[in-house]
Amino acid sequence: MLRELCLKTLLIVMALCIIILGNLVLTHAQSTTELIVVISPAIVEPGEKSHKIGYVGLAGKHGTLGKATHDTIVKLESENPSVATVPQEVTIPEGLQYTVFDVKTTGIPGTTNIFASVGNELSFATLTVGDQSDDLTSDLKMIVNLPTPEMSVNSEMPFSLYLQNSDGTIAQAPYDIPITLDYEKNLVTVEITEQSIKKGNSYVLGTIKSKEKVGNAFIRASADKLGFDEAKEIRISSSLPSSLAVNIFPEKIPATLKRDIDIIVSLVDSDGLPTFAQEDIKLQFFSDDQSINDQIDRAVKELNLSQTIKKGEFSYHFKQRLDLAKEGKTITIGATTKGLGVAMDSFQTVKPLTTSNPLVVNKTMQIFTLDRVPTKSKTIAVYQIGTLYIASNFENSTETKEVEFLPLIVNENYDSIGSDHKIGLISSNNLLLKVNSVGKMDVSSSHGTAQIETGQETGSVVLASIIKGIGAASTTTEVINTLKQEKSMIFSPTGDKSILFDKNGYFDVFIISLDSKNRPTAVENEIRYLVTPINEILTIPKGKTYSHVSFLGNLIQSDVKEPITIRTVPIGESADPGLQSQHVFAREPTAKLAISVPFNILSPEKTEYTGTIQVLDFYDNPISVSEDIRVKITPSEFGFLGIPDYIIVPKSASFTSFPIQTSEKAGSITIKASAKGILGAQTQVDTKSAITKLKISLGSVSEPLLAEQPAELRIYVDDEEQKSVNGATLKIVSNGATVIPETIKTNEEGYATVQINAKQSPKISLQILATAEGFTEEQKSVSFDVTQTTQENKTELPEWITYAGAGGVTVIGLGIFFALRKPKKIEEDESYE
C-alpha cells in the first residue's frame, strides 16, 4: 500500500508540474509574433490622392499571419508628412489577421518611412512617391550611376553619368552638354573621361577614388545648360568597430592563491567580425566580484597597464594574477569603452588538484584561442593540463556517466625546450597561422600561454598542442579578411536594368570585385572571367578593383525585344566558382507590369486578401497611364484561389487592386498578369496554415519486454509533410517502468533513443509529449507487454522511485528555466524588413 500510495502521489505531482511547464512554454511561444507593416505597392505616382495601400498584421516565425486574440490597436506615423500622411492609429479586430489603412500623398515626390507600433514593438515600411508625367515624355534629366553606395578607404570604382527621359528611356544628347562635378574632396577624388556628354552620346564614364579617411561622401553632377543636377551619397568605411568582445582563458581555474588568467578584449564590427582600431581605444575593466575587481584595479596601478587597444590593432591582451579562495564560483569580468558598449566573459573556480594526487588517473589537456582572428594580427593561445573527472550518483549503473574536465596544478616545470615534459604547439597551415612562442608552465601552474600570429591568407586552421606524457588537444580558428573578394558584380553605364548599344554596335560592361560588405576591393591575384553570351575573356589585374571593356554586340542583337542575361564565369587554375555572377539587362526600355501580394504567406481558411497590379518603367518608376489598361490575370491552377479574370488600371493611375479569396487549399500557385504592349509579370502565392502539427512514431521493440532488463526505444518526430524535426523536445512519463533520460531532444535525423526498464508485469505504459518551436504540442500513449523473469517480494519503497522523483523535479525545474529564459541578444542591429 505504501509503495502504491507514494508512486501515485509522485506521478500526480509530476503531472501537475508538466502541465504548468507546458503552459509556460506555450505562453513563451505565443509571444514570438512579429508586427509587420506593408505598403503595396511601395511606389506610387505623385499627386494629392488617398491610396488604400497600407497593411498591418501579426506574423509568426515562419511568416504566416495569425488571428488577433483581441482588438489590437496599432499606432501609425509617417516619417515625412510632407510626402505622405497616415492615420494616427488603426485596429486589428479580434479574430482577423490584418487590417488596411489609407496613405494620403501630398503631391510632393519623395520617400518616407511608415512606422507601426504596438507597445514596444516597432516595424516600418518605405513608400516612394515617384515623379512621372502622364504622357511619358518630358525634359531630359541626368543620372549619377554608382555600382554601389559603399566604398572602403583607399579604393576605387567606376561610375557613369547618363541621360534619361522622364519616361525612363535612355536618351541621346541633342548637343554637347557640359558637366560640372562637385564632391567631398576630403574623402574622395573624382575624374571623368570627358567634361561633357557629346552630341549623340548618352553617357560619360568616370572613376571615384577614396582616400584614407572614413565618412559620408557625395558626388553631384549638374548641367547648367539644361538646368538639372543629380547627387548621390557614398559611404566610406574601413570595417569600423561597433562593439567589444571579451574572452577569458582558460575557462576553469583552481581555487587557490596566485592564479593566472588571460583576458583578451577585441574589436568587432556590425557583423560580429574582428576588426582594427582606427584610433587608440582606452578600456575600463570591472568584475561582478568585489575582490576580483579590487585585484584588477591594483594590478593596473602597480604594473602601469595601458588598458588600450592601439590604433591598427584588433585586441588588447593582459595576464591577471588573482587570489581565488572559494570553489564552485562563476566570476564575470567585463570591459567597456565609450561608444562601443560593454562586453563580458566568465570563468569558474574549481577544486584544486595536483598532478601527483592519487585520485588523478586520466590526464588530458585542452587548448583555447579566439574563434576568428583577422589577417596580419597577433594574439594568444592557451593550453591547460587537466583530468577527466567522472561523476555518477549510481553504483553499478548502466546509465551514461557525466565526464568533467578539471585542471591540474603541475609540480614541475613544463617547457618547449630542455624539459622531460616537452610542450609542442603546431599549426596545420603556417601560411594562415604560425606559432611565434610556445611558452611554458611553471611549477604550481595549470596552464601556459603561447604567442601566435596570422598571415595574409584566409581560411580555417587547426592549432594543436602536445605534451609528452599527457596527451594532445586541438582547436580550430578562422583567419578572416573583411576586404577579401567575396563576389563579382556586372555593372552597366546605363543602370542595372539595361544596356545600350552605340551606333557601331558596341556596349560597355564592367566587372567589379566586391567584398562581403558590397564594397569594391582589390584582388590579390589576377582574375580572368569568361563573359557569355559574348564569349570574350575579361581580366581584373592584380591590385585592381575592376575591369572594363567595350564588346561588339552584333551576335546578341538578333531580337532586341528580349532581355539578355550576361554571365561572368571565373576561369583558370584554382578559379573560385563562388565568384560567378550574372545579370539580366533589357535591350530596349519599355513599360512593364508588376504584381504583388502584401503578405508572403496567406491563410487557406477562406480569407480575403488584396493583390496589386502596377504599371512601371524599366527603372521601377510608376507610370500614370494615359488611358484605361485592361490586364488579364491567369493563375497556374484554377480553383485554388478566387481571383477575377480581368481588371482595369484606370486612366491617370499607375496601379489597381484585385481581390484574392483563399479556398481551404494549402500549397503554392503562380499568378500571371499580362497586357497588350506591356511586359507581363508573375508572382508566387503560398498558402499555409499558421499552425503546424508534430507527429510521433516509434521504432520497433521486441515484445514482451523482460522485467528489470533495459531495452532501447527509438522515438521519431516528423512534421505534417513527413519531414524529420530535429531539436524537438521529448518528455516521457512512464507507468511501471523507468525511462532514461526522461527528457531528450531529437538529433539531426529527427529521432532520439531512450532506455526503458520495465518494473512490473504484465504491461507498462508510456506517455510521450513532443514540443518544438513553431509547432503545436503532440502527445502519444503506448503500452508494452512485460514478462516477469523472477518474482520478488518487496515491502519497502523501491529506491528507483526516490531517484525518479528527484530526476523529475530537476528536469521540470530546468524546463521552466529554459522556457522563461530570454534568448541571448545577438550583437548586431535588428531591423524589420
**pLDDT of 510-544, one tens digit each?**
999 998 788 999 998 899 999 888 788 899 999 99
User: Is 340's pLDDT higher than 50?
Assistant: yes
The one-character DSSP state at 340 is T
List C-alpha distances in Å: 238 to 272, 483, 829.
14, 9, 18
Can you give the C-alpha Rg of the chain in angstroms?
34
Whether residue 165 has pLDDT greater than 90: no
Determine the Cα–Cα distance for residues 394 and 401; give it in Å rounded to an integer. 9
Question: Is the CATH number of domain 692-787 3.40.50.620?
Answer: no
Q: Is 396 exposed, middle or buried (0-12, 13-18, 19+ CB in 10 A)?
A: exposed
How confident is the model at residue 208, as a pLDDT? Answer: 96
Residues 6 or more apart whose Cβ sits within 8 Å of residue 356:
411
Distances (CA, A) of 829 to 19, 120, 270, 832: 37, 16, 7, 10
Residue 186's pLDDT band, with cuts at 50, 70 and 90, is very high
CB 236 within 8 A of CB 151: yes
Which residues, other chains included, contact 822 with Cβ-Cβ below 8 Å and sequence gap of 6+? none
In this prediction, residue 421 carries a pLDDT of 64
Residue 583's SS3 state is strand
Q: Per mean pLDDT, which range of 155-169, 391-405, 479-493 is the poorest?
A: 391-405
d(Cα 696, Cα 716) in Å, to the nearest integer?
Answer: 6
Indicate the residue type of 343. A
Q: How confident is the model at residue 590 (pLDDT cuts 50, 70, 90)?
A: very low
Residue 737 bridge partners (DSSP): 758
CB 642 within 8 A of CB 633: no
Angle of helix 2-30 versus helix 799-820 axis, rounded to 10:
10
Residue with cell 577585441: 266
Give the pLDDT mean for 708-736: 88
Q: What is the DSSP track for 122-137? A: EEEEEEEE----TTS-
User: What is the rounded distance in angstroms from the CA atom of residue 464 to the CA atom of residue 116?
Assistant: 53
The pLDDT of 359-374, averaged and rounded, is: 90
Strands 89-92 and 72-78: antiparallel
DSSP code of residue 270 = T
Average pLDDT, the chain: 82
Rounded Cα distance, 791 and 454, in Å: 69
In tens, the pLDDT along 83-122 reads 999 999 999 998 888 999 999 999 888 899 999 999 888 9
What is the model's pLDDT at position 560? 43
Torsion of CA 501, 505, 508, 509, to 10 degrees: 100
- Residue 160's nearest CA partner among 199, 121, 207 is 207
Residues 6+ away with beta carbon under 8 Å from 305: 299, 318
CA distance 512 to 521: 8
Q: What is the pLDDT of residue 691?
A: 61
Say if residue 655's pLDDT is above 70: yes
Contact status, residue 37 vs residue 123, Cβ threshold 8 Å: yes
Say yes or no: do domains 31-130 and 692-787 share a fold. Answer: yes
Q: Which CATH superfamily is domain 31-130 in?
A: Immunoglobulins (2.60.40.10)
Beta carbons of 153 and 211 less than 8 angstroms apart: yes
Q: Choose between 694 and 282: higher pLDDT.
A: 282
- How far is it, in rounded angstroms, from Cα 463 to Cα 452? 10
- Measured in degrees and rounded to the nearest 5, phi and psi for residue 578 equal -70, -15
- The count of residues in the chain is 833
Name the percent of the chain lying above pLDDT 70: 82
pLDDT at 830 over 60: no
- pLDDT greater at residue 343 or residue 241: 343
- Tens-place pLDDT, residues 730-780: 999 988 889 999 999 999 899 999 999 988 888 889 999 998 865 778 899
Res. 268: pLDDT tops 80: yes
Q: Name the band, by pLDDT with cuts 50, 70 and 90, for residue 617.
A: low
- In terms of pTM, does the model score above 0.95? no
Find the mean pLDDT for residues 428-433. 93
pLDDT at 9 over 80: no
More confident residue, 171 or 594: 594
- List the domain boundaries for the chain: 31-130, 379-480, 692-787
Whole-angstrom distance, CA of residue 498 vs CA of residue 398:
71
* Nine cell digits for residue 747: 538529433
pLDDT attached to residue 693: 78
CB 309 within 8 A of CB 315: yes
